[in-house]
């Protein structure tokens, strides 16, 4: 029997790509490059993980092809926003702070100390490249077409730990954390934490079913959290921490019910995991994404390497 072959005319929206890149400013200054550190950038085209101009630079490329593209300010990091510059009395400055230093705020955002004198300090939350056009040279190294990928969405308490858990799974191509199955449009983290938005904290997983099955992801999900705790995981309490499987297809729903029933046989207490169609899903704020892999609260990065079995420190 002959197998049909689907032609793929270069990278398109929804594809997972891995690229090497070099970025320069108009004066020729190189501000970043993945090549010296041999760390290609991996992202799904069009999902907002990179600036819009970077998406455009990759669109249409086939594996092995290169492109050089100038990115204007609006498709880069946008214009510098004066409202993102915060002023504080100098006496509130932490010890050792100097002009030009970068600091990590309690919400995970990075700010630059743009002013420091006897009276006040200023912290600039704008991206350091805001207001500047950029030029990128990119080379497409790998491409996984969207037709080969599937999504899964799970709620298992605070989303930081579950995201790192799934990042480590071979066959998981990308992860992001977000808020799902609530009632409020475009909720913030603060909205979700009050319980008023009705959303659950979730991790959304993009995976290659040729490498890892949805059933395997379900088994990992049920094994790595307590599905018998209602609106709670450990000391985290509230409806946003509820256990949930939010399915994308009827087939996922059937598998979720099957695995839930299988796991129930191992528990004396009732499993309270809700199984619902994914709805009202919103991506969480950038500072929550890959939070533990980037260092968490303590600034100590935890490995997201495939197959890593290191214990996960829930808050970093």
Active site members: 158
Torsion of CA 154, 168, 192, 47, to 10 degrees: -90
* Contact of 141 with 280, CB cutoff 8 Å: no
Q: Please give the Cα distance from 175 to 203 (Å, whole number).
A: 7
Q: Please give the Cα distance from 215 to 39 (Å, whole number).
A: 31
Backbone angles phi, psi at 40, to 5 degrees: -60, 150
What is the full DSSP assignment across 129-193? TTT--EEEEEEEEEEE-GGG-EEEEEEESSTHHHHHHHHTSTTEEEEEEEEES-SSSS--HHHHH
Pairing, β 274-277 against β 243-247: parallel
State how far the alpha carbon of 206 is from the alpha carbons of 51, 152, 167, 190, 233, in Å: 20, 7, 10, 26, 24
* Contact of 259 with 222, CB cutoff 8 Å: yes
């Amino acid at each position: 029997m002959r197998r049909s072959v689907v032609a793929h005319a270069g990278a398109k929206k929804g594809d997972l790509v891995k690229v090497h890149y070099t970025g320069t400013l108009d004066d020729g200054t190189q501000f970043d490059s993945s090549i010296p550190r041999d760390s290609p950038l991996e992202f799904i085209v069009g999902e907002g993980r990179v600036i819009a101009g970077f998406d455009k630079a990759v669109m249409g490329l086939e594996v092995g092809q290169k492109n050089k593209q100038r990115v204007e300010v609006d498709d880069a990091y946008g214009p510098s926003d004066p409202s993102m510059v915060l002023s504080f009395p100098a006496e509130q400055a932490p010890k050792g702070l100097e002009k030009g230093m970068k600091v990590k705020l309690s919400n995970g955002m990075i700010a630059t100390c743009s002013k420091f004198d006897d009276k006040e300090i200023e912290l600039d939350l704008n991206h350091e490249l805001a207001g500047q056009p950029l030029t990128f040279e990119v080379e497409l190294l790998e491409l996984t077409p969207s037709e080969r990928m599937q999504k899964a969405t799970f709620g298992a308490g605070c989303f930081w730990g579950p995201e790192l858990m799934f990042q480590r799974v071979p066959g998981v191509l990308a992860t992001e954390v977000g808020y799902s199955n609530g009632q409020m449009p475009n909720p913030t983290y603060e909205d979700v934490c009050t319980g008023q938005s009705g959303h659950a904290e979730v991790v959304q997983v993009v995976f290659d079913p040729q490498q890892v099955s949805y059933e395997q992801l379900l088994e990992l999900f049920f094994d790595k959290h307590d599905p018998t705790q209602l609106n709670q995981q450990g000391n985290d309490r509230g409806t946003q921490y509820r256990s949930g499987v939010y399915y994308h297809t009827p087939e996922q729903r059937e598998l979720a019910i099957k695995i839930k029933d299988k796991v129930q046989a191992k528990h004396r207490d009732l499993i309270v995991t809700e199984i619902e169609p994914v709805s009202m899903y919103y991506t969480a704020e950038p500072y929550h994404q890959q939070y533990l892999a980037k260092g968490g609260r303590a600034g100590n990065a935890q490995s997201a390497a495939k197959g890593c079995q290191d214990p996960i420190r829930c808050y970093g």
